[in-house]
Amino acid sequence: MSTLDPQGTASGAGGADIVGSGVGEGPGPEVMAAATLDDTQVISSDGEDVGKISDIMLDVRSGRIAYAVLSEGGFLGMGANLHAIPWNALTLDTDAKCFRVSIDAQRIKDDPGFDKDHWPSMADATWGTTIHQYYNRDPYWSATRGVEDLPPGNI
């Protein structure tokens, strides 16, 4: 069960939360094709449009979504700064058709991120822990500790 943080968003170690009426055509919003979420706008906790989802990263061993990659700035995908956002730091707003992230826009802008040609090693548990701490979230692999829930790369 998740609890609400000061911005009113859930802060559990599980997946993204969902708010809004959520009723629509197709299988969503609880189960969706990852590709349908590409280019979804992301709104910061202070209401600023901070970019769009460019990729959704899966932890293949555990079968969990690890991160959403936010594309911030740039033009037509050129020169964009990318940020890995823990999946559990996002809330899908089905009414506004966007994701809401639980930190303010300046904090995202202050994160150096990475570019399309220099991705971090997302399977590195130290890197992952740092990213989760930046977003004030528990790492997705820490909710339970079965073999399938160990940090990426530690099986």
82-123 pLDDT tens trace: 999 999 999 999 889 999 998 999 999 998 899 888 999 998
Assess whether pLDDT exceeds 90 at residue 147: no
Could you tell me the residue range of the domain that residue 86 belongs to?
Answer: 17-22+32-147
Establish if 9 belongs to a structural domain: no
Say how far apart CA 102 and CA 125 lie, in whole Å.
22
Evaluate whether residue 36 is within a structural domain: yes
Is residue 5 a part of any domain in this protein?
A: no
pLDDT tens readout for residues 40-90: 999 999 999 999 999 999 999 888 899 999 998 766 555 689 999 999 999
Instruction: Say if 128 falls within a structural domain.
Output: yes
- Mean per-residue pLDDT, 7-17: 52
Element (H, E) at 123: none
DSSP tag of 130: H
In a domain, 42, yes or no: yes
Kindly tell me if the per-residue pLDDT of 153 is higher than 50: yes
Residue 69 domain flag: yes
Question: In this predicted structure, what is the pLDDT of residue 91?
Answer: 93
Predicted local confidence at residue 149, as pLDDT: 46
pLDDT at 46: 96
How many domains are there within the chain?
1
Please provide the distance, in angstroms rounded to a whole number, between the alpha carbons at the two ends of the chain.
Answer: 27
Check residue 49 and give its pLDDT: 96
pLDDT at 4: 37
Classify residue 1: in a domain, yes or no: no
Q: What pLDDT does 75 receive?
A: 61
- Asked if the structure places residue 12 within a domain, the reply is no
Please give the residue that has the higher pLDDT: either 148 or 91. 91
Which is nearest to 38 in space by CA: 52, 18, 59, 22? 52
- The two tokens of residue 17 are 């939360």
CATH of the domain at 71: 2.30.30.240
Q: Looking at the predicted structure, is the pLDDT value of residue 144 above 70?
A: no
